[in-house]
Chains A and B, each alone.
Chain A
């Protein structure tokens, strides 16, 4: 998604007040943006706390500010700066974290971001965007750029199967129709399930939904989805995020508050610390988030 991100931000670079700050990351990806922005592209160095506070101050001065780093360095190290300097003042600083979830899998646990949106959504006014497909990025940048709230964009890798045409970007999308209990996946994970779910018999297969925006208060589930959950009595949620602070927990709260009672199957990231490391696909499988594990969970459910 980095290529699409760069393209989308280059288009925005004509805005004279646009500023882009990176924590010394973006090699072999963001050079066109650097060229387009000139001195408004700032490599703030390996100093994420300063970078976020500088960004907050620039937003306070009316600049259009985007901050980029590897996902964990974007929210975990400078968390207090995000909390105090950005969200306490409701400033429109846009944090872009690359490699959300297990995106940097084999690089080790310091590079994983599996509690990012749970942590950030505790902050006032924070909006989270988790694009599913590469094609979503332009719309996400437009949407985030049009808001005046703090935002975090969790970038991953578009994983649509060959031949699949992603539907137009939206906070909620149904990717595969079916009559069984719905499956909801957060962000790019949804793309990895399309083929497996579509291969099931239409009469029993679940419908597959992707969610890309949180919190639910700003992006409530479509009525059609809620009706299906209620009528089937079950929903399966899959996310590359730990259970604490998960999307599933907020969906459960939403359902209970709205009188929707159904069993929930939750597939989630298990840990930063496995005995052995591997690719994102490997770590997803370790967490039971791969398509085969999903199908097993559905058959048991």
Chain B
């Protein structure tokens, strides 16, 4: 069920994501909307059998589930159970239940190490394929994320791509207010990695970045908008947490469907 994505299809996935969060009454929607384009593109156009993906920003599990649903790896029935009792689909990616979800994440600062270890193991095994990891921007405040970057660069893991959802907002403030590393790409540039900074909601730009050859770890910094596509959520920190009320949901659907 994989197929090329376009903005119209992304909009459908956004609506499905918002509906899922509304029906479940849970938050974390803002950071899901900011990374959905890249996630959906990866699963629909890039990831093959030999490839691996690690969602380091586990609080964007909703976007991951919708991306997996879009390629038929999660059923509509299961998606409807998101965040409910007896669900496979917890608020953060679960362990040992969905083949494409390699690791239970949600505690920030683990995923890049897991991706680096996966990439190195696959290089040792001559397994081919590529490993992708999506981190948040706030997650770069975790020391272990830098440990992982040092490791990936030292081992020159050319089979590793690190995507950063750079929406500029974290749990209790903006990244600039909390612990500024702005501009983040300049902080990263001292490492022996290949960095690209792109608009994170532009499918053509994401494709071009993913297609660019690299002989070392590749970092794609996605400049994104938290709450992308819903006017009252965009760039608003509170939508890191808030659940949608009925009126919010109706308005969000109208905006996302272009009505």
Contact = CB atoms under 8 A, between A and B. Distances in A.
Interface string B112-127: 0111111011101101
A5 B125 CA distance: 26
Contacts, number: 94
B116 A50 contact: yes
Contact of B113 (A45, A54, A63, A89): A54
A88 B120 contact: no
Interface in B88-110: 95-96, 102-105, 107, 109-110
B47 interface: no
Nearest to B122: A61
Interface string B125-146: 1010000000000000001100
A40 B120 CA distance: 10
Contact of A61 (B96, B125, B144): B125
B144 A50 contact: yes
Contacts of B154: 45
Interface of B: 95-96, 102-105, 107, 109-110, 113-118, 120-122, 124-125, 127, 143-144, 147-148, 150-151, 154
Nearest to B149: A50
Contacts of B95: 88-89
A147 B34 CA distance: 43
A56 B114 CA distance: 7
Contacts of B115: 57
Interface in A49-85: 49-50, 52-58, 60-63, 80-81, 84-85
Contacts of A47: 144, 147, 150-151
10 contacts: A40-B124, A44-B151, A49-B109, A49-B113, A53-B148, A56-B114, A61-B117, A88-B96, A88-B104, A89-B96
Nearest to B94: A88
Given A54-B120, A60-B102, A90-B96, A85 B144 contact: no
B125 to A, nearest CB: 7
Nearest to A89: B95
A32 to B, nearest CB: 21
Contacts of B151: 44-45, 47, 50, 54
A148 B154 CA distance: 30
Given A57-B114, A85-B114, A89-B96, A63 B147 contact: no
Contacts of B116: 50, 54, 57
Interface in A109-140: none
B231 to A, nearest CB: 37
Contacts of B109: 49
8 smallest beta-carbon distances between A and B, as pairs = A57-B117, A53-B113, A54-B117, A50-B147, A61-B121, A47-B147, A49-B144, A58-B121
A81 B113 contact: yes
Nearest to B143: A49
Contacts of B147: 45, 47, 49-50
A275 B40 CA distance: 59
Given A50-B150, A88-B96, 11 more contacts: A40-B124, A45-B151, A47-B150, A47-B151, A50-B116, A53-B113, A57-B103, A60-B117, A61-B127, A80-B107, A89-B104
Nearest to A39: B124
Nearest to A58: B121
A42 B207 CA distance: 34
Find the residue from A44, A53, A63 having the highest chain B CB count within 10 A.
Answer: A53
A47 B116 CA distance: 14
B243 to A, nearest CB: 26
Contacts of B96: 88-90
